[in-house]
Amino acid sequence: MGKLKNRPPNQDRRPIAPAVLQTILQRRAEIIYKMDHGFKAGDLADMYDLSESSIRRIYKERHKTATALKTGEVSVRKGKKAVIKLEYPEVDEGVLKFLKWVREESSKDLVALENWFTVDLPEVLMNVDPRNLLNADEASLFWRNFGVKSLIIGRWQKTGVRIAKDRITIFLLCSAAGEKFVICVIGTEERPRAFEKNAVHDVTVDKYGFSYYHNSTAWMTTAIFNSWLDWLNAEMVKQDRHVLLVVDNFIAHEASSRSNVTLHFFPPN
C-alpha cells in the first residue's frame, strides 16, 4: 500500500466563505448554551454530527466564541484568523448579552439548589423514617419506537423509515427504603385495544395491579395527580402510615397535602 499524500499546507487551502464562518460561530454558541443547560457531550455530538472531543473543545474554548460574537473575529485554524463581517451585529451582541445573563442566572439557581440540599432538605428529613419518605416522577414510554441508537454500532437510522412516536406516561412511586408501589399509567384512549381484546373493564389497583387514566395528550394533569394523590392517601390511611412525598415543582403537581400524605417540592429548575 502506498503512502498517503501529505495534506496541502494552509496557504494552499481554499478560504472559507464569511457566511459559512458565521454559521460555525452560531453553532458554537448553541452548543455552549446547551452544555450550560445540562446537555451531554455525546447527545450534542449526535445532534450536530461532531465528535465528543470536538464538542468538549468548543465548550472549553467558549471564551473565544464570546470574543468572536463581540468583534466578528473567529479562529478557524491554528495560527490564523479570519475576520468576518457580521450581518446583524446588534442581534449578535444581544445574543451575547443573553448568554451572559443565562449563565449568571444558572449560577444563582445552582446556589439555591445547593442551599436546598444542604439546609432545607435535612431539616425536613430530620425525623422521617426512610420507609415513609416517598418520591414519585413521570416517565415517557415510546412503546412502538425501536430506537435509533445502539451500544454496539452507535447511532443508526434507516432513511425513509418513520419513527413511531406513540407514547404513554408512566408515573412511578417508591420509598427511600426501596419499597415499590403500583404504577400509574396515562394513555390517550379511554379503552385501548388491548383492554378490549382481553375484556378489561374498570381498571383499578385492586383488580389489575395498576391504575389507568387517559387524556388526549397522555400527559400528567392536575386533575389526574389529585385523583392519584387521593388513592395514595387512602392506602396510607389503611396502613396507618404518615408519609412525606417529594415531587418535582411541576405545574401539574399543584395540590395540597392530604391527611396522611405531606407534599414537599423540589426547587424550581
Which of residues 111 and 139 earns the better pLDDT score? 139
Percent of the chain with pLDDT strictly greater than 70 = 69
- pTM confidence score: 0.56
CA distances from 179 to 124, 182, 242, 259 (A): 20, 10, 15, 21
CA–CA dist 59, 42 (Å, integer): 13
CA–CA dist 39, 48 (Å, integer): 13
Contact 57, 14 (CB under 8 A): no
- Average pLDDT, integer, range 190-199: 82
CA–CA dist 179, 208 (Å, integer): 19
pLDDT of 63-77, one tens digit each? 887 777 666 555 544
Contact 243, 236 (CB under 8 A): yes
Least confident window among 14-23, 54-63, 141-150, 176-185: 14-23
Residues linked to residue 244 through DSSP beta bridges, in sequence order: 133, 262
Residues linked to residue 168 through DSSP beta bridges, in sequence order: 141
24 has pLDDT over 70: yes
CA–CA dist 269, 262 (Å, integer): 21
Question: At 124, is the pLDDT very low, low, confident or very high (cuts 50, 70, 90)?
Answer: confident
pLDDT of 225-250, one tens digit each? 999 999 999 999 999 999 999 998 88
Residue 184 backbone phi and psi in degrees, to 5 = -115, 130
Q: Write the single-letter amino acid at 155.
A: R
